[in-house]
Structure 1
Amino acid sequence: MPTLAGIYRYAIKSSAAEALASAHVQLEGLRHDRRFMVVKPDGSFVTARRYPVLQTVTARFDGARLTVLHDDHVALAEACADFDYQSFATRVWADDFSAWTTTQRLDAWFSRVLGEPVHLLWLGEQSPRYRDKIDTRVSFADGYPLLLTSEASLADLNARTDGTHVMAQFRPNLVVADTAAFAEDTWQRIRIGPVTFRVDAPCARCVMITVDPARGQRRSDGEPMQTLLRYRKGDDNQVYFGQNLVAENEGAISTGDTVEILA
């Protein structure tokens, strides 16, 4: 029986992963997952695709205070009570919506990390971004509330490449163990603890998977994209690894939970 081997949260879109022993699943995704996003002054979103250094930022958010850390910059902690709360127009891909400004200190901190002027936005307690395609609210995530991968699929990839790749390159929320490689591609509906999930669509991968998360730099050999192109390319020429999930109810999940395949 498959089990839940890992739970990962990203307080800020494109920041380093936070490993959790347990988490509360909401319809918008894991609680406090990708509730913040770095944007340019015009509101366009900033990610590690173009700014891989973001993956070396550690962010922790408890619902009341955001703390950000980086090896080359002094740590900063800011309370939500001190946010500016000015409505700021932004966009994630084709979705236009507004989020809240945070503080000038956070803006300045991220501007130093990235080397250009940026702002840090917060979604608030409830995301204003509603996606008709999946009939639910979504955080600052690319398109779905949650992403699932498996240890067996990563092992299969590593068996086909000269180097060793880590799960952090694929930025999942949930990692399952005790499956065959890419078994998750056949799942339609699963249950973890008290929460049921719709396995909605395979995840098309981009240049993000070529970023070394420890160094915040892209790999010069273009891996693992080059290897995945040989055996994980769909008819649409997209490379797929992992599955996008939509939660059907809310509840707490923990590592070690059984992953029940409902369909």
Structure 2
Amino acid sequence: MPTLSALYRYPIKSTAGETLTRAAVAEEGLRHDRRFMVVKPGGGFVTARKYPALQRVCARFDGGQLSLMHDDHAAVVESRHAFAARPFDTHVWADDFTALTTTFRLDAWFSRIMGEPVHLLWLGERSNRYREKIGTRVSFADGHPLLLTTEASLADVNARAAATHVMLQFRPNVVVAGGEAFAEDGWTRIRIGEVVFRVAKPCKRCVMTTVDPATGRRRPDGEPTRTLARYRKGDDNEIYFGQKLIAENTGELVVGQDVEILE
């Protein structure tokens, strides 16, 4: 039986991933996952697609305190109680919604890293972003609460590519070990521990996969996108790797749990 082999969350959209051994699952995804996002003064969201150096920022958030670290900048720690929490209009792709401001100190820290004025926004306790298309609230994630990938599929890509790639390039939340490469393409419902997930749709891949998480730099050879394009391109000419998930109930995930394929 396949097993849950890794868990990752990203407290701030597009920053470095945090490795977990267990995580609570709520309606909007893993607890504390993508609860913050960097935006431009007008509300436009900023990601590592255009600013790959964002992946050099390590963030930790426990619900009460946000800690930020970067190799070239002094660390900063801010209490949630210090957040101004003023409504701020923003968007993620076609979804327009209102988030909350944090502090001038956090805005200034990210502005120094980005080299231009930006703000750090917080979703608050509950996201205002309800996606009717999928029938659930979503964090600052691109479109769905969670992303699943498998070790077998990554091994298949690495067997075809000239270089070895790591799972964090694909920025999953849930990683599954066991089974055949791309078996996840045929799953529609799965259970991990006590949580049942609907496998909503395959994930389109973009230039983000070419960013080396260790350096925050884009690979000049265009890999692994170039390799994926040879055999993972759909009829719509998009490249696919991984599956987007929607949890049907809440619960806790623990690395090592069995993954049951329900449908």
Asked if Structure 1 and Structure 2 have the same fold, meaning a TM-score greater than 0.5 normalized by the shorter chain, the answer is yes
What is the Cα deviation at residue 172 of structure 1? 0.1
Percent of pairs identical after alignment? Answer: 69
What is the Cα deviation at residue 27 of structure 1? 1.0
SS in 2 for 1:229: helix
Q: Which amino acid aligns with 1:146?
A: L
Kindly indicate whether residue 151 of structure 2 is the aligned counterpart of residue 151 of structure 1: yes
How far apart, in 2, do the equivalents of 1:178 and 1:251 lie? Answer: 23
- Residue 251 of structure 2 aligns with which residue? 251
SS in 2 for 1:108: helix
- Residue 27 of structure 2 aligns with which residue? 27
What is the Cα deviation at residue 87 of structure 1? 0.6
How far apart, in 2, do the equivalents of 1:242 and 1:109 lie? Answer: 33
SS in 2 for 1:53: helix
How far apart, in 2, do the equivalents of 1:86 and 1:165 lie? Answer: 41
Ranges of 4+ aligned residues in structure 1 off by more than 6 Å: none
What is the Cα deviation at residue 182 of structure 1? 0.4
Show CA shifts across 1:203-227 (max 9, x none).
Answer: 0001000111111010000011111
What is the Cα deviation at residue 149 of structure 1? 0.1
Gaps of 5+ in 2: none
Show CA shifts across 1:167-216 (max 9, x none).
Answer: 01000000000111001111000000000000000000010001111110
How far apart, in 2, do the equivalents of 1:172 and 1:34 lie? Answer: 12
Q: Which amino acid aligns with 1:184?
A: E
- Residue 228 of structure 2 aligns with which residue? 228
Kindly indicate whether residue 167 of structure 2 is the aligned counterpart of residue 173 of structure 1: no
Aligned residue runs from structure 1 range 89-168, under 5 A: 89-168=89-168
TM-score by length of 1: 1.00
Q: Which amino acid aligns with 2:73?
A: H
How far apart, in 2, do the equivalents of 1:156 and 1:57 lie? Answer: 30
Count of equivalent residues: 263
What is the Cα deviation at residue 230 of structure 1? 0.4
- Residue 206 of structure 2 aligns with which residue? 206
How far apart, in 1, do the equivalents of 2:214 and 2:189 lie? Answer: 34
SS in 2 for 1:96: strand
SS in 1 for 2:108: helix
- Residue 63 of structure 1 aligns with which residue? 63
How far apart, in 1, do the equivalents of 2:161 and 2:45 lie? Answer: 32
What is the Cα deviation at residue 92 of structure 1? 0.3
Q: Which amino acid aligns with 2:130?
A: Y
User: CA RMSD, aligned part only?
Assistant: 0.4
How far apart, in 1, do the equivalents of 2:63 and 2:161 lie? Answer: 41
Q: Which amino acid aligns with 1:179?
A: G
- Residue 73 of structure 1 aligns with which residue? 73
How far apart, in 2, do the equivalents of 1:75 and 1:180 lie? Answer: 42
Q: Which amino acid aligns with 1:36?
A: F
Q: Which amino acid aligns with 1:23?
A: A
- Residue 4 of structure 1 aligns with which residue? 4
Gaps of 5+ in 1: none
